[in-house]
Protein backbone atom coordinates (compact mmCIF):
# COMPACT_ATOMS: atom_id res chain seq x y z
CA UNK A 1 0.00 0.00 0.00
CA UNK A 2 1.06 3.56 -0.65
CA UNK A 3 0.13 6.87 0.93
CA UNK A 4 -0.13 9.74 -1.52
CA UNK A 5 -0.05 13.32 -0.37
CA UNK A 6 -1.25 15.55 -3.18
CA UNK A 7 -1.14 19.32 -2.98
CA UNK A 8 -3.18 20.86 -5.77
CA UNK A 9 -4.07 24.44 -6.61
CA UNK A 10 -7.74 25.13 -5.88
CA UNK A 11 -7.97 26.34 -9.48
CA UNK A 12 -7.58 22.77 -10.78
CA UNK A 13 -9.04 20.85 -7.83
CA UNK A 14 -12.28 20.08 -9.67
CA UNK A 15 -10.30 18.70 -12.63
CA UNK A 16 -8.37 16.42 -10.27
CA UNK A 17 -11.56 15.08 -8.66
CA UNK A 18 -13.26 14.67 -12.04
CA UNK A 19 -10.34 12.65 -13.44
CA UNK A 20 -10.29 10.47 -10.32
CA UNK A 21 -14.02 9.83 -10.66
CA UNK A 22 -13.70 8.92 -14.36
CA UNK A 23 -10.90 6.43 -13.61
CA UNK A 24 -12.60 5.25 -10.39
CA UNK A 25 -9.57 5.93 -8.23
CA UNK A 26 -9.04 7.89 -5.01
CA UNK A 27 -12.64 7.37 -3.97
CA UNK A 28 -11.63 7.47 -0.28
CA UNK A 29 -9.49 10.39 0.84
CA UNK A 30 -8.90 13.05 3.45
CA UNK A 31 -8.99 16.60 2.13
CA UNK A 32 -7.73 19.79 3.77
CA UNK A 33 -9.06 22.93 2.07
CA UNK A 34 -7.33 26.30 1.87
CA UNK A 35 -3.73 25.23 2.42
CA UNK A 36 -0.99 27.86 2.13
CA UNK A 37 2.29 27.14 0.39
CA UNK A 38 5.11 28.12 -1.89
CA UNK A 39 6.44 25.49 -4.26
CA UNK A 40 7.56 25.50 -7.89
CA UNK A 41 4.63 27.60 -9.13
CA UNK A 42 3.11 30.89 -8.00
CA UNK A 43 2.87 31.02 -4.18
CA UNK A 44 -0.58 30.28 -2.76
CA UNK A 45 -0.87 32.46 0.36
CA UNK A 46 -4.50 33.58 0.38
CA UNK A 47 -3.57 37.24 0.74
CA UNK A 48 -3.78 40.38 -1.40
CA UNK A 49 -0.47 39.68 -3.13
CA UNK A 50 -0.84 35.89 -3.64
CA UNK A 51 -4.61 35.31 -3.34
CA UNK A 52 -4.83 31.67 -4.45
CA UNK A 53 -4.87 28.67 -2.12
CA UNK A 54 -4.11 24.94 -2.37
CA UNK A 55 -5.97 21.84 -1.26
CA UNK A 56 -4.19 18.89 0.33
CA UNK A 57 -5.26 15.27 -0.16
CA UNK A 58 -4.11 12.22 1.77
CA UNK A 59 -5.00 9.02 -0.05
CA UNK A 60 -4.05 5.43 0.81
CA UNK A 61 -4.19 3.06 -2.18
CA UNK A 62 -2.87 -0.18 -3.60
CA UNK A 63 0.07 0.12 -6.01
CA UNK A 64 -2.10 -0.29 -9.14
CA UNK A 65 -4.35 2.60 -8.14
CA UNK A 66 -1.30 4.73 -7.36
CA UNK A 67 -0.12 4.40 -10.97
CA UNK A 68 -3.46 5.70 -12.27
CA UNK A 69 -3.33 8.68 -9.90
CA UNK A 70 0.23 9.37 -11.00
CA UNK A 71 -1.02 9.58 -14.61
CA UNK A 72 -3.73 12.03 -13.53
CA UNK A 73 -1.13 14.22 -11.79
CA UNK A 74 1.19 14.08 -14.83
CA UNK A 75 -1.66 15.04 -17.19
CA UNK A 76 -2.72 17.96 -14.98
CA UNK A 77 0.86 19.22 -14.90
CA UNK A 78 0.93 19.19 -18.72
CA UNK A 79 -2.51 20.78 -19.06
CA UNK A 80 -1.93 23.47 -16.40
CA UNK A 81 1.85 24.03 -16.26
CA UNK A 82 1.59 27.21 -14.15
CA UNK A 83 -0.99 26.11 -11.56
CA UNK A 84 0.98 23.71 -9.41
CA UNK A 85 0.32 20.15 -8.32
CA UNK A 86 2.66 18.10 -6.16
CA UNK A 87 2.47 14.42 -5.29
CA UNK A 88 4.49 12.67 -2.60
CA UNK A 89 4.41 8.89 -2.19
CA UNK A 90 5.39 6.81 0.82
CA UNK A 91 4.92 3.22 1.86
CA UNK A 92 2.29 2.60 4.51
CA UNK A 93 1.04 -0.29 6.58
CA UNK A 94 -2.59 -0.30 7.64
CA UNK A 95 -3.36 -1.60 11.12
pLDDT in tens, 1-51: 999 999 999 999 999 999 999 999 999 999 999 999 988 888 899 899 989
pTM: 0.91
What pLDDT shows up at residue 75? 97
Total domains, the chain: 1
Query: Half-sphere exposure (CA, 13 Å, Cβ side) for 11?
Result: 18
List % helix, strand, coil for the chain (3-state, nearest 5).
35, 35, 35
User: CA–CA separation, 73 vs 69, rounded Å?
Assistant: 6
Q: Which range of residues forms the domain containing residue 68?
A: 13-26+63-81
Average pLDDT estimate for 47-68: 93
Asked, for residue 71, whether it belongs to a domain, the answer is yes
Distances 80 to 9, 41, 57 between C-alpha atoms, Å: 10, 11, 18
Asked, for residue 77, whether it belongs to a domain, the answer is yes
> Residue 94: is its pLDDT beyond 80?
no
Asked, for residue 70, whether it belongs to a domain, the answer is yes
Asked, for residue 20, whether it belongs to a domain, the answer is yes
Specify the DSSP class assigned to residue 10: G
Amino acid sequence: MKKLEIIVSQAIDEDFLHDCKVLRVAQHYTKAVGVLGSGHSVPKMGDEIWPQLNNHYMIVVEDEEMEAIKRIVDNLRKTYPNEGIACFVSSVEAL
